[in-house]
Chains A and B, each alone.
Chain A
């Protein structure tokens, strides 16, 4: 079954502390993995995708095929990082995106 699991519904982190949002997936084949973010009163937007291997807004994510994980990390949290984060996947050649339930990240001052 194709599935994305985000075990934390809410994660509270102090400003300046490291952030790690967990994501595990189940997929038969080689998926493409994404992180989407939704800031308050804004639309859902792509944060990063594993094939680009870019660091966006200080966030990185490494695909670990052995552990079927794609955790999102940032070394020093900023208040503007407070948002809803969704891990997602799609199959190669398959455009539909399967989303996790999301993790709300709350950065404490």
Chain B
């Protein structure tokens, strides 16, 4: 499968624990995006990268959230001290460049107990 992949697909954690998600974009896609989707809502933008540079962060991305793309390929999204309100589907997307179609991964579903 040459599409965007995300790992894990599901994560259940207890409140207060840290979690990390991984996204592998389509090969040679320079842009990588993170979105969050809660029940009954559309995806909400969190942050995006151009190669390894993080270009924009949403105000939704509190200081408990951090995203990296160290080598300009895969990206990680870490949530520290998880809260029940963090329970959501975390979606990753990639695109060849600016204003190109964004291709979405299957998502990581996070449940915080």
Interface residues of A (CB under 8 A from B): 4, 9, 32, 43-46, 49, 86, 88, 92-93, 95-102
Contact = CB atoms under 8 A, between A and B. Distances in A.
A43 to B, nearest CB: 5
A99 B44 contact: yes
Interface of B: 3-4, 31, 33, 35, 40-45, 48, 56, 58, 91, 95, 98-99, 101-107
Contact of A95 (B44, B48, B104): B48
Nearest to B55: A95
Contacts of A96: 33, 45, 48, 56, 58
Nearest to A88: B42
B42 A102 contact: yes
Looking at A86, A97, A102, which has the most chain B CB atoms within 10 Å of its CB?
Answer: A97
30 contacts: A4-B42, A9-B40, A32-B99, A43-B4, A43-B104, A44-B43, A44-B91, A45-B104, A46-B102, A49-B101, A86-B42, A88-B42, A92-B99, A93-B98, A95-B31, A95-B48, A95-B98, A95-B99, A95-B102, A96-B33, A96-B56, A96-B58, A97-B33, A97-B43, A97-B45, A98-B45, A99-B43, A100-B42, A101-B42, A102-B41
Nearest to A49: B101
Nearest to B106: A43
Contacts of B40: 9, 101
A98 B101 CA distance: 14
Nearest to B45: A96
Contacts of B98: 93, 95
